[in-house]
Structure 1
Amino acid sequence: MKDLYVPKYLLCYLLQVCILKNQSRHQHEQPHVCIKCPVSKYITCGIMAYLALLEDIARSQIRRERVFRDRNDFFSNDDSWLISHFRLPRTILMELCNELAPTLERPTSRNHAVPVQLQVLTTLGFLATGTYQRELADRSGISQPTMSSFIPQVVAGINRLSRQHIKFPCGADVQANIKTQFAAVSRFPNVIGAIDCTHIAIKAPSENEATFLNKTQFHSINVQLICDANMVLTNVVARWPGSTHDAVILQKSSVGRNLEAGVLQDGWLIGDSAYPLKPWLLTPFHHPCSEEEHRFNEAHGVAHKVIARTISCMKKRWRCLDRSGGVLIYHPTKVCNIVIACCVLHNLAQRHNLPLPEPLNIEVDDIAVEPLPEPADPSAVRLREDVCKRM
């Protein structure tokens, strides 16, 4: 009976009919009793049923008040708490919310729509901790499906800011400043950036699964990063599966093509032995023999260590990228978007000299990358020898 719905007005009508029939039977059994017109009684029954119907309709039109969970006001906390949970202080968080507001605010007649600030901070909390969305949603006072719906939108909004926050140094003044900073750190001249790749662990994709399997036998996205001496990222390429060689990513990137075309007049990148020696990309000596070559490799290693420190800092800041916290269980395209968003946020933190995550242990991908078989560029060999002698 619980699953059978009978409208109240119908029940009322049936009950009245039963009563009238019962009364009519008794009246026929007692002929001396005065019988009133039964038609009026049926009319009364119909009126009562109609009134019951109107009452049901009226009640159905009364909208029940929805019960919403209390939402967390994260901005009620101080800067140290905000940096601990979202990696950025109040002023930068507010600026970021204002920049993203035009893409995240939507016209709606609903009350209790998720505010832009809560969308942004909840997304940053996910990126910063790598915490499962359900746990983070509970702390935010929103449902997990709601959180899943707006995280990609916030990530896409942050990615649209990448052009203004991730820029390769092209002007002479900017390059000169970076060269001075690298020379102060490593005594290596004319360096405009340190380059390396890092692997972001992902769940095995359903398509082209083998191409994402790297040499250490876990599925990943191989991400190319270039940074300056202050650990600010100047180039990010996040679209290649884990089996792709570091040198291939550079060769096919816009930065690699431009440098190969001679856009850079003076200066070079610093890369490890996985990359080919180029006039614009200096690598260490494979088998240093002289004291000069050892000294070159030592200074080169100090300069190149900046990118290793940058990668470690970014993964500590945005734990969703760190394999120790598990793998990203999203489609590779979504993972690439998350990586770029984390790079934008990393630069925001670095440019404002925010404290580094503690403890910051410099970690490198335990993936040995052998150089591709490629004939040495004679001009690059002479350039490295000349730099070696001058050092």
Structure 2
Amino acid sequence: MDGTHVCVKVKPELQGMYWNRHDNASLNIMAICDLNMLFTYIWNGAPGSCHDTTVLQMAQQSDTEFPLPPSDKYYLVDSGYPNKQGFLAPYRSSRNRVVRYHMSQFHSGPPPRNKHELFNQCHASLRSVIERTFGVWKKKWRILSDFPRYNVQIQKRVVMATVGLHNFIRISKFSDADFADITTETNNNQNFEHDIGDIDATEIVDGEAMTQIRDTIANMLCENQSNR
């Protein structure tokens, strides 16, 4: 799960609502995808000024069919979302401790220095599928980066139409240059997915549950690495 911004053209009196931290007007699109880069859920109702956590709250409160994961499953989310039941976030840096997360930080620096960074490296590697999915989607449908002056409702319909076409192309397995540019999952990703599969959160409470699950995964990864 992650959010991405799509440009939007609105009347001057609505600019403030849609103006984002990148200094342009946008829709904040929250999406969930699977490991095959298929969109499985889209929340298309948030103006660009909304924080990702706010968009998630809007979706859960407004959509009675919001796809909460089963009690023993969870979405991978970045640090812009809370680490709570059903949503597994990375370890964050604190005032006394710097914890790296982004893959570029590991590519350009030393390997993980502790179990928190090892977890974050695996988490970021797995979660990169949503970033690649956004990348293919926006690259193919250039209208998303420069909307004509349709009204906002039509612009939202264009977003949903292009998401549907994205999934159709992927499911149909057409030869597609944009998808061909995307790399496959690494063995590290597959091992991480296997390791977390046996952890059951059904008897632990909300945020505490995910904290315990995250610590358990981090310990498992650290132990696996030391046994190699």
Q: Fold match, TM over 0.5?
A: yes
The number of residue pairs the alignment matches comes to 181
Distance 2:208 2:43 in 1: 28
Asked if 1:305 corresponds to 2:128, the answer is yes
Distance 1:258 1:330 in 2: 29
1:252–1:384 Cα change, 3 Å: same
1:218–1:361 Cα change, 3 Å: farther
Residue deviations 1:169-217 (CA, integer Å, cap 9, x gap): xxxxxxxxxxxxxxxxxxxxxxxxxx11111112242442210000111
Matches within 5 A, 1:149-164: none
Distance 1:219 1:234 in 2: 26
Matches within 5 A, 1:356-375: 356-357=177-178, 360=181
Match of 1:384 among 200, 214, 225: 214
Distance 1:215 1:221 in 2: 12
Partner of 1:267 in structure 2? 73
Measured after TM superposition, the shift of residue 328 of structure 1 is 3.9
Distance 1:220 1:329 in 2: 13
**Larger C-alpha radius of gyration, 1 or 2?**
1
The structure with higher relative contact order (CA 8 Å, sep 6+) is 2
Unaligned segments of structure 2, at least 5 residues:
94-98, 100-111, 184-205, 222-228
Measured after TM superposition, the shift of residue 295 of structure 1 is 1.2
Residue deviations 1:203-233 (CA, integer Å, cap 9, x gap): 2424422100001110011111110000000
Match of 1:208 among 8, 14, 21: 14
Asked if 1:331 corresponds to 2:161, the answer is no
Matches within 5 A, 1:1-391: 195-254=1-60, 264-287=70-93, 288=99, 291-321=114-144, 323=145, 326-354=146-174, 355-357=176-178, 360=181, 377-391=207-221
Measured after TM superposition, the shift of residue 358 of structure 1 is 7.8
1:291–1:250 Cα change, 3 Å: same
Distance 1:385 1:317 in 2: 39
Unaligned segments of structure 1, at least 5 residues:
1-194, 363-375
Could you say what the CA RMSD is over the residues aligned between the two structures, in angstroms? 2.9
Contact 1:205–1:332, Cα closer than 8 Å, also in 2? no
Structure 1 stretches of 4+ moved >4 Å: 255-263, 358-362
Partner of 1:161 in structure 2? none
Residue deviations 1:241-298 (CA, integer Å, cap 9, x gap): 1101111111221499879997622111011111011121111111339622111111
Q: Which amino acid aligns with 2:119?
A: F
- What TM-score, normalized to structure 1? 0.42
